[in-house]
Amino acid sequence: MSEDGTITPDPPPAERERGGPQGRGEGVLTDTLGRPMRDLRISVTDRCNFRCTYCMPKEVFGRGFEFLDRRQILSFEEIARLARIFVAHGVRKLRITGGEPLVRKDLEQLIAMLAAIPGLQDLTVTTNGSLLKRKARALKEAGLKRITVSLDSLDNEVFKSMNDVDFPVERVLEGIEAAQEAGLSPVKVNMVVKRGVNDHTVLQMARYFRERGQLLRFIEFMDVGNANGWRLDDVVPAAEIIARINAEMPLEPADPNYRGEVARRYRYKDGSGEIGVIASVSRPFCGDCTRARLSADGRLYTCLFATSGHDLRALVRGQTDDEIAAFLRSVWTRREDRYSELRSSATPGLPKVEMSRIGG
């Protein structure tokens, strides 16, 4: 932090690992920029019971919208098989996403299958929290380690207007409490911040979760897909969010927990916890991105802002594990994505995959 109280960005990540296509560890893949494949985000459904305006606006995802047919979606067995192959090639963290993953029937069965994969170090779910109160214990018993809940405001009117299905804040908070009681801790809470919509509730969110010792992460409104009407003017930069909080509750930068961590961390100076900011727009982190994404219909995407994916569903339904692994190696070792670093006035209009297909 400078003498005038301004918080400066964290230092750039350590120099990336180098090596051949296999990287430094056996089975670990690295791309053309030396980035290893460490994280796999698995969407288990393209459906959601919310219609958040920044993700699945009703104008696009209304009554007539055609979601994926059951036959198009990967089975739990197919997902687990692919996950084992990814883990054999260096993935250490699996995050289950959607759509809303908890609307997928018997999700805890998939969690149990994934939790049993040798070499996997972290297994987590991102959810809107609407079904968490009745699912938290079953997920924990199946082997889930942690959970992240999306909550964009504590103001009921603001939250209802953003989820656009009149869902109350109280029921999400009950879900967070249930997750905490089940042992899915620490619970992380994600808040997408949009200017003129919910940015006036940032401090309220920070105070509330600081008091409860739960980790809150603020996410800049991103141009994922094309349905959310993204404009740069709607983005509240991470530096502005941090400055607002720091003015009332002094902060200091904290070191990342691991290489490729998406959120930049800040500690409260009084030791009462921390917050994080995910700043894909104002502070791109492409240079250390270790994430791959698997859509509900089995397409592999190597970037959140990808315009196309690679069909793994056809492979898992007709090829051997060795053939799937060879294809995965060919995709990742050619990877050169860095959309956020290259973002321009033209890129938001590209025909990118929607958030509801590949999660966050």
Q: b/e per residue, 12-46, with b = 16+ CB within 10 A?
A: eeeebeeeeebbeeeebbbbeeebbbbbbbbbbbb
What own/partner pairs with CB < 8 Å and gap ≥ 24 does 347-352 have? Answer: 347/223, 347/305, 348/223, 348/230, 349/226, 350/226, 350/305, 350/307, 351/226, 351/307, 352/223, 352/224, 352/225, 352/226, 352/305, 352/306, 352/307
For residue 220, give every residue at least 6 positions away whose Cβ sits within 8 Å of its Cβ, in sequence order, or none: 193, 235, 236, 237, 238, 277, 278, 279, 280, 281, 282
Rounded Cα–Cα distance for residues 341 and 287 (Å): 8
For residue 279, give every residue at least 6 positions away whose Cβ sits within 8 Å of its Cβ, in sequence order, or none: 220, 237, 238, 264, 285
The residue-averaged pLDDT of 67-83 equals 96
Rounded-to-5 percentages of helix, strand, coil across the chain: 35, 15, 50
Per-residue pLDDT tens over the stretch 212-235 = 989 999 999 987 766 666 788 899
Per-residue pLDDT tens over the stretch 248-296 = 999 999 988 877 678 899 999 999 999 999 988 888 878 889 999 999 9
Per-residue pLDDT tens over the stretch 301-360 = 998 878 889 999 999 999 999 999 999 999 999 999 887 777 765 666 666 677 677 776
Residues 24, 17 contacting (CB under 8 angstroms) = yes
Rounded Cα–Cα distance for residues 98 and 45 (Å): 5
pLDDT at 226: 65
pLDDT at 182: 97
- Which domains does the chain possess? 39-187+289-358 (3.20.20.70)
pLDDT at 13: 37
Percent of the chain residues topping a pLDDT of 70? 87
Q: How far is CA 251 from the centre of its chain?
A: 24
The CA-based diameter of the chain, rounded to the nearest angstrom, is 62
Q: What is the CA radius of gyration of the chain?
A: 20
pTM of the model: 0.88
Instruction: Of 124, 123, 128, 133, give the one whose Cα is nearest residue 167.
Output: 128
3-class DSSP state of 197: coil
pLDDT at 227: 66
